[in-house]
């Protein structure tokens, strides 16, 4: 990400836990170097844990916001 974006950040604002699952919600932001366009995109990550270690991770993102910065 650092090679393609300037000031790229992922800021989590909410965590929810249920047993071995943790969901994280937040905002990605940054400026795409090639176009100079900024973006902010909501995200959700769903983690499945075993023995305190992340076993799987699913990522959901507002890809329209990201694609707009790329064009």
pLDDT of 1 reads: 74
**Whole-model pTM?**
0.85
- SS3 for 22? strand
Both tokens of 21, joined, read: 């699952």
Composition of the chain by helix, strand, coil, percent to 5? 10, 70, 20
pLDDT in tens, the chain (71 residues): 778 999 999 999 999 999 999 999 999 999 999 999 999 999 999 999 999 999 999 999 999 999 999 99
Both tokens of 39, joined, read: 């973006």
DSSP lists the bridge partners of residue 23 as 16, 46
């Amino acid at each position: 990400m650092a090679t393609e974006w300037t000031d790229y950040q992922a800021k989590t604002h909410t965590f929810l836990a249920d047993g071995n699952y943790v969901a994280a919600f937040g905002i990605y932001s940054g400026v795409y170097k090639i176009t100079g366009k900024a973006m902010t995109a909501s995200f959700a990550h769903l983690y499945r844990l075993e023995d305190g270690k992340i076993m799987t991770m699913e990522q959901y993102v507002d890809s329209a916001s990201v694609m707009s910065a790329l064009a």
